[in-house]
Structure 1
Amino acid sequence: MGKLKQAGLLCAGLVGGVLISLQFSAIADKETRAGLPVEELRTFAEVFNAIKQGYVEPVDDKKLITHAISGMLSNLDPHSSYLDADAFKDLQVGTQGEFGGIGIEVGMEDGLVKVVSPIEDTPADRAGVKPGDLIFKIDDTLVKGLTLNEAVKRMRGKPKSPIRLSIIRKGEAKPLEITLMREVIKVQSVKSKLLEGGYGYLRITSFQENTGAAVVKHLNDLFKPGPLRGLVLDLRNDPGGLLNSAVGVAAAFLPPDTLVTSTDGRTADAKHRFSVSPADYLRGSRDDYIKTLPPEARKVPMVVLVNGGSASASEIVAGALQDHKRALVLGTTTFGKGSVQTVLPLPGNTAIKLTTARYFTPSGRSIQAKGIAPDIVVEDNANGNSTQRLREANLEHHLDASKDPAAPAKETSTKPSTSKAPVKPKGSTPKEDADESVELPSRELASPKDYQLTQALNLLKGMQIMQTIR
């Protein structure tokens, strides 16, 4: 692996990327609206008028208002934002797992577009775009001065149309130019593989509308040849997605009516307990996919893999399985995004994405700016090195964890653990510079060169031995 590259889950812009935890809602009732601040609005009107009369070039009224709304939201926290018609449409389409573009999730840093993560098997991934890359030019347009949405629009385009990205990459003396071809991105959010020795591997790359149902389908395929000796659930580099999908995934491994997560905010709608119940993981009148779940899925010994790229919905699942002692969590501390965003539609097919609640694990832990600490710390490779990442706590305007309200009532699981009590051996501290000789991770699903996966399998095998001894 080359020098450690910083990558983070910044306020996500979607270029065929992945979503953060969302709920869709109508605008709040008038009773909940506070009185308007007359003096401040008068100041706003004066500034608006000054721009209209004296700015060096004419500015459209709609553009000024849109920028004002965008600035008002973006300064609240990293995840609240204004969605114009295109961005709102992309968000809605994105929950279905199909995107247009080049296949990267991006944020903004110092006026440049920062790559959070390329999506597996997309044009960006195949062209070698890497987390942490800074895009400073799109075709012949400099990114500096563009908003994130404007940059995202320029990276969109018709399938089979070319795009040229000029990139600054840490460790490279000169900027890189990468030319790739746009295409329709269809993201397969769930993948699985039956490993040697009767162990199963299940990877979730994002939490989309049909992810819960896909997990059940893959579990049926894994159990079809016979019982599994153990299962690895891989949530590494999964930046999240839909909240109900996270509850649905947890429902595949926890008993009915078990608490998965709870949310708490200022409004009554923001206070909710999400359990293993069809009302909490299904949308509309869809069939309950949990009914086709193989019964063994709720009993098989499990290890959950996480890292600094595991965020939001991933943290909900990992935290629920950890709190109920259903699985051991292995890897490095997760991203720490413990907030829920509500999408409020506006006239003109636009919307705002507003942070409305914090979420808590079943035991009442807040994840905001803290993350899920693994039961067993295992770095990316045997040398004790892990990719350095920006986390929620590093983001400007992030919600302060110290201001979390009192956690909702705690729930303690009475379900016996499928393994020994969690242990926390010391893990090496991530270093500033990685060994240049370390090999880049293989793109092969469940690669034998995957150090963390190997350790997860060793743990499952050890659990089998302990059960045999008993």
Structure 2
Amino acid sequence: MTLSVTQGSATAKRFLALLLPIALLSTPLPLLAQPSSNSVDSDLPLEEIQTFAEVFERIKRAYVEDVDDRTLLRNAMRGMLSELDPHSAYLDKEEYQSLRESTEGEFGGIGIEVGMENGQLMVITPIDDTPASRAGLMSRDIIISIDGTPTKGMSLQEAVTLMRGDPDTTIDISVLRAGEESPREFTLTREIIRSESVKHELLETGYGYLRIGQFQSRTPEQARQALERMAREQPLDGLVLDLRNNPGGVLQAAVGVADLFLDDGLIVYTEGRIPDNELSFSASADTPAGDVPLVVLINSGSASAAEIVAGALQDQRRGIIMGTDSFGKGSVQQIMPLGNGEGLKLTTALYYTPEGRSIQAQGIEPDVDVVRGRLEVAESRRETREADLEGHLSAQQAPRDREETSPRLRDDYQLSEALNLLKALNVVDRRRD
């Protein structure tokens, strides 16, 4: 195949001169015997390269504004990655640094995890105790504008850059929620986002609550310490592991948390095109909460590493998964630094649960469906009881003090149902004994 340049374009000729050595290197040498099917795949598509050069030249000559070569080439690289999947991206120096700040757990912003779905900027989940969560943003909200700039056609990294900023500055975002015709308008004040990954408390005596907001490097150790604190006075009769609106995080942290409840067996494995991306993680015998009855709460904001934990515990029959279907982000991204201080975020593998289920675009289906709701106490329905009757007989012993329960239970229907399920499981176990 030969290369030719139409219209004698100097820019296109120069561009092709740079690409031609690459094309020649990829062309099979006559002295090397190669299967015909592989030789076709190894050739660069020279016609497409020529077309690319022609498009490059037409933009240079005819676009309404002057565009330098560097900008066009960087845009081309962005396009190559953005068309692969919603999570792969080309990162310039500012974006690369911003991503590093996010992984270190501190940055200026509104506290929201976002992704792209069908070309739309979508909320994966708001992070706990941030402007986004306090304002009421929800998983799967579609962000249609940021400070008046439409997000249609905007890359994921461009949107993240717009939402990041100095603390105490405001940002206006317009959100379209499923089932609603008119967008909702939010004005948020940016803060330094320091995400605490683990919270815990006793819901009632003997019943613990472990909330993991996202998976950071220290999350397994923090979760272990929380379990030890809750069981300090007496062994736990049950535990609720809350992974709702958990956007994921560090893979090894998810493995470490699952290992707190499993004493053997596979936790997760990955498959990619190259051997380095094929990994497998199994549980160890050191399991501080191996026999505690467990209910795991998930919802549509539970993504990535959170789905790894839920999937492992479900496949190993270690706990009951309750809530609604999870998000379905089962792909692995690697951050690859480039020599110029920029980087790539590239999808390199997919996650699989111990039973071989792909999380990608499937998510984890709960064992017990419980939709989001709120408990309401009907104060007006005050019924007459024996103690209200005039002249009633008194008890022969002092009445028992009513047990203190967590305020969370009044406002969280799913959590209340999880606690009820744990109590029911204990009743069944006692009857079996």
What TM-score does the superposition give when structure 2 sets the normalisation length? 0.75
Q: 1:70: how far off? A: 1.8
Say if 1:126 and 1:363 are closer, same or farther in 2 by CA, change over 3 A.
closer
Aligned partner of 2:109 in structure 1 is: 101
Q: Does 1:236 align with 2:244?
A: yes
- Comparing 104-113 with 317-326, greater Cα deviation is found at 104-113
Say if 1:152 and 1:197 are closer, same or farther in 2 by CA, change over 3 A.
same
Aligned partner of 1:159 in structure 2 is: 167
Letter in 2 for 1:261: V
Contact 2:125 2:246 in 1 (8 A): no
User: 1:298 is paired with a residue of what secondary structure?
Assistant: coil
Contact 2:331 2:360 in 1 (8 A): yes
Counterpart CA distance in 1 for 2:118 and 2:365 is 30
Say if 1:304 and 1:112 are closer, same or farther in 2 by CA, change over 3 A.
closer
Q: 1:317: how far off? A: 0.7
Letter in 1 for 2:350: R
User: 1:245 is paired with a residue of what secondary structure?
Assistant: helix
Aligned partner of 2:411 in structure 1 is: 449
Say if 1:357 and 1:202 are closer, same or farther in 2 by CA, change over 3 A.
same
Letter in 2 for 1:452: Q
Q: 1:220: how far off? A: 1.8
Matches within 5 A, 1:411-430: none
Counterpart CA distance in 2 for 1:220 and 1:58 is 64
User: 2:61 is paired with a residue of what secondary structure?
Assistant: helix
Deviations 1:309-349 (A, max 9, x none): 22221111111111222112122222222222222222322
Contact 1:96 1:209 in 2 (8 A): no
Matches within 5 A, 1:362-441: 362-381=354-373
Aligned partner of 1:265 in structure 2 is: 272
Q: Does 1:464 align with 2:420?
A: no
Q: 1:60: how far off? A: 2.4
Contact 2:260 2:288 in 1 (8 A): no
Say if 1:267 and 1:296 are closer, same or farther in 2 by CA, change over 3 A.
closer
- Comparing 346-355 with 101-110, greater Cα deviation is found at 101-110
Deviations 1:242-289 (A, max 9, x none): 11111111111111x532111112111122211236xxxxxxxxxxxx
5+ long unaligned stretches in structure 2 = 1-25, 27-40, 376-405
Contact 1:193 1:446 in 2 (8 A): no
Say if 1:82 and 1:445 are closer, same or farther in 2 by CA, change over 3 A.
farther
Contact 2:198 2:223 in 1 (8 A): yes
Contact 2:96 2:343 in 1 (8 A): yes
Larger Rg: 2
Letter in 2 for 1:377: D
User: 2:356 is paired with a residue of what secondary structure?
Assistant: coil
Q: 1:302: how far off? A: 0.8
Contact 2:86 2:115 in 1 (8 A): no
User: 2:168 is paired with a residue of what secondary structure?
Assistant: coil
What TM-score does the superposition give when structure 1 sets the normalisation length? 0.70
Contact 1:162 1:182 in 2 (8 A): yes
Question: Over aligned residue pairs, what C-alpha RMSD do you find?
Answer: 2.9
Counterpart CA distance in 2 for 1:353 and 1:64 is 20
- Comparing 242-251 with 97-106, greater Cα deviation is found at 97-106
User: 2:289 is paired with a residue of what secondary structure?
Assistant: helix
Bigger fraction of residues in helix: 2
Identity %: 53
Relative contact order higher in (CA < 8 Å, ≥ 6 apart): 1
Contact 1:341 1:354 in 2 (8 A): yes
Contact 1:201 1:446 in 2 (8 A): no
Deviations 1:340-382 (A, max 9, x none): 2222222322222222212211122222222222222223249
